[in-house]
Amino acid sequence: MHVPDGFLDAPTSLATAGVAAAAVALALRGARRELDDRVAPLAGIIATFVFAGQMINFPVAGGTSGHLLGGAMTTVLVGPFTGLLCMTVVIVVQSLLFADGGITALGTNVVLMGVVAVVTAHLVFLAAQVLLPKRVSMVAPAAALAALASVATSAATFVLLYSVGGVVPIPFDTLLTAMLGVHLLIGAGEAVITFVVVAGIMGVRPDLVRGARGVLVSRELETRMVAA
Amino acid sequence: MRRPPTRVVLAVVLGIALLVAGVVSHYASNSPDGLTSVAVDLGFSSSEQAAAGGPLAGYEVPGLGHPRWSGGLAGVLGCLVVLAVSTLLFRLRRPVSRAGAEDE
């Protein structure tokens, strides 16, 4: 999903850079509320985990591969604002140190893999928590749904950007079908990885998972009622 | 059930990340990723401008011949940089709490 330099024209890249900068500024403010004693130590480690996870390309259909994006994983584990900062650090390091993703495309990549993925994941995760039973066992499935949706909206947003500022004229429908087709498969991989990681941490220390706080509080209250 | 202390959980997650970046990454698929293959299929990949390069461009450490060592070391170095930058950033963003009184 890393967009290289040259795919999008200069005005579009400039616009996405502006959106990315505004979103990161917002996240820097918002993260202050998220970074408590539980989230703060985990956040840097999760950013590192996402960087490592992004190195593992897994094969999907027909000679194509995909890798974890991590927007949903970070959103569920450390919160959306801190999650966006995690994603931004990873994307900037990849671009500057590893030449993975363009420099002029930096804003585009932060928008696609950061902002769009995190906002989608946050909304879908919240919706899933409302619709699914309020149980600890439902946190990882909700995260997996958020992961699948986040990859799909990232891919669809690229198509939108390309229809506005793509250098080569490609019919919108053709590009949308191609991008969604392959990225739904990649999204399935994203869902599996996100499920395993979130379920793993939920299994040993659910209190470290920021997205699980709603269910944990209600469970503790129930326990007290039974004890009384 | 006894719950492992936070630092044990963090150490395990970090250990897995280093293992994935340092060792498992060698076995990752080399096929083009979703966007790249769509770009090739639909004929807009040619507009890609060669990346400006970077000290670890292409996830390789320059001068290290063996791809396994070169890629693995690049992955571990990347992990350490991400860890250092994000930890510093999050430390700066933490609300300053003094003796029970929350700032903000």
The low-confidence residues of chain A, meaning pLDDT below 70, are 218-228
C-beta atoms of A45 and B33 within 8 A:
no
DSSP conformation class of A228: -
Q: Does B102 touch chain A (CB under 8 A)?
A: no
Res. B94 pLDDT band, cuts 50 70 90: confident
For chain B positions 42-61, those within 8 Å of chain A (CB to CB) are 42-44, 46-49, 51-59
A110 in a domain, yes or no? yes
Lowest mean pLDDT among B2-11, B12-21, B49-58: B49-58
**What's the whole-number mean pLDDT along residues B80-94?**
94
**CB contact burial A30-61 (16+ within 10 A = b; e otherwise):** bbbebbeebbbbbbbbbbbbbbbbbbbbbebe
pLDDT digits (tens, 9 = 90+) for A47-101: 999 999 999 999 998 899 999 999 999 999 999 999 999 999 999 999 999 999 9
C-beta atoms of A5 and B56 within 8 A:
no
User: In this structure, which amino acid lies at residue B95?
Assistant: P
Q: How far is B81 from chain A (nearest CA, A)?
A: 8
DSSP conformation class of A101: S
CA distance A14 to A213: 38
**What's the whole-number mean pLDDT along residues B77-94?**
94
Parse chain B into domains and list their residue ranges.
20-25+58-94
Q: Does B96 touch chain A (CB under 8 A)?
A: no
A85 in a domain, yes or no? yes
The secondary element (H helix, E strand) that includes residue A58 is strand A58-60
Contact A51, B18 (CB under 8 A): no
A58 in a domain, yes or no? yes
C-beta atoms of B44 and A6 within 8 A:
no
CA distance A119 to A139: 17
Structure token digits, residue A226: 């039974």
Tally of domains in chain A: 1
| CATH number of the domain within which A50 lies | 1.10.1760.20
In terms of CA atoms, which chain B residue is nearest residue A168? Answer: B44
A208 in a domain, yes or no? yes
C-beta atoms of A52 and B20 within 8 A:
yes
In terms of residue numbers, what domain contains A179? 10-227
By Cβ distance, the residue of B25, B89, B90 closest to A56 is: B25
Collect all residues of chain A within an 8 Å Cβ-Cβ radius of residue B34: 1, 60, 64-66, 155, 179, 182-183, 186
Res. B97 pLDDT band, cuts 50 70 90: low
Predicted ipTM of the assembly:
0.92
C-beta atoms of A155 and B34 within 8 A:
yes
By Cβ distance, the residue of A4, A28, A170 closest to B51 is: A4
> Above 50 in pLDDT, residue B104?
no
Picking from A48, A60, A172, A179 by the largest number of B CB atoms within 10 A of its own CB, the best residue to mutate is A48
Q: What is the pLDDT of residue B99?
A: 41
Res. B2 pLDDT band, cuts 50 70 90: confident
pLDDT digits (tens, 9 = 90+) for B25-77: 999 999 999 999 999 999 999 999 977 788 999 999 998 888 889 999 999 99
